[in-house]
Amino acid sequence: MSSTATKPFESLIRDRVAQLKQEIPSSVTLMGVSKKKPTPYIRAAYDCGLRHFGESRIQEALPKQEELADLSELVWHFIGTLQSNKAKKAIAHFHWIHSVDNLKLAQRLDRLAQGENRRPNLCLQVKVLPDPSKTGWHIDELMADLPALYLLSNVAIRGVMVIPPLGLNLEETRHCFSKAQDLFHTVQRQSREHWVQFDQLSKGMSGDYQDAIAAGSTIVRLGRTIFGEREK
């Protein structure tokens, strides 16, 4: 068999990406969540035009990034919980960090970005509904921290990231997304004098991205829909 023969996973990924590109408005950024998937999967998605990829663990992402260093237009997004001792690596190796979940971390990223001479794009992870299993700001906490966040000058605070709590029904999911949209617009209005570009609402995964888009999502983060189920 020729070494260039299309492998089954390649045509699957190609079909799924093509379908999503038809389905999703072009104003919405499609991120392929490639955690737990090997680099040939990422390469296959890149080859059919996907440019944004999300990883949730630094130690898993770094060797993959190295293997894919030839893909010059690839934009890396960090979407996992970020421990402060990994913050420097996150800045050095990712263009976006979606999971900034407290003020101290944001301030640390700002200091480190100055040292690294980078200007990362950050999204603020917010729990719009109570969720003991996740980190992130509650809405009122975020509103209280905004003045301090406005002061950060070495990072670009680009928007809000939301993950609905597990196990919501459709109505509850829509309620969660609608609250996230309201919050996004509130902060966007408020922040105009401080930030040039607070323009991203990162929400929507494989199970709920249509509802997320209907409620104003600008970035959807899709893993299983593009790459298939993950190993536990």
Q: Please identify, using beta-carbon distances, which residue of 12 and 205 lies nearer to ligand PLP.
A: 205
Residues 97 and 78: their CA atoms lie apart, in Å, by 5
Instruction: Report the nearest approach of ligand PLP to the CB of residue 226 (Å).
Output: 8
Q: Please identify, using beta-carbon distances, which residue of 128 and 195 lies nearer to ligand PLP.
A: 128
Give the three-state DSSP class for 123. Answer: strand
Those residues with Cβ within 8 angstroms of residue 102's Cβ, 6 or more apart along the chain or in another chain: 135, 137
* 37: phi then psi, degrees, rounded to nearest 5: -115, 140
Q: Please identify, using beta-carbon distances, which residue of 152 and 220 lies nearer to ligand PLP.
A: 220
Instruction: Report the nearest approach of ligand PLP to the CB of residue 182 (Å).
Output: 21
Instruction: Report the nearest approach of ligand PLP to the CB of residue 96 (Å).
Output: 12
Instruction: Report the nearest approach of ligand PLP to the CB of residue 125 (Å).
Output: 9
Angle (nearest 5°) at CA 31 between 94 and 13: 120
Q: Please identify, using beta-carbon distances, which residue of 135 and 206 lies nearer to ligand PLP.
A: 206
Q: Please identify, using beta-carbon distances, which residue of 91 and 163 lies nearer to ligand PLP.
A: 163
Note the residues at the interface with ligand PLP (CB under 6 A). Answer: 33, 35, 56, 79, 163, 205-207, 221-225
Which residue of this chain has its Cβ atom nearest to ligand PLP in the complex? 223
Q: Please identify, using beta-carbon distances, which residue of 154 and 216 lies nearer to ligand PLP.
A: 216
| Closest by Cα among 111, 81, 116 to 95 | 116
Q: Is 182 exposed, middle or buried (0-12, 13-18, 19+ CB in 10 A)?
A: middle
Residues 167 and 33: their CA atoms lie apart, in Å, by 21
Instruction: Report the nearest approach of ligand PLP to the CB of residue 117 (Å).
Output: 28
Instruction: Report the nearest approach of ligand PLP to the CB of residue 170 (Å).
Output: 16
Q: Identify the bridge partners of residue 221 per DSSP, sorted by sequence position.
A: 31
Q: Which two tokens stand for residue 23?
A: 């389905």
Question: Which amino acid makes up residue 186?
Answer: T
Q: Which two tokens stand for residue 100?
A: 């900034």
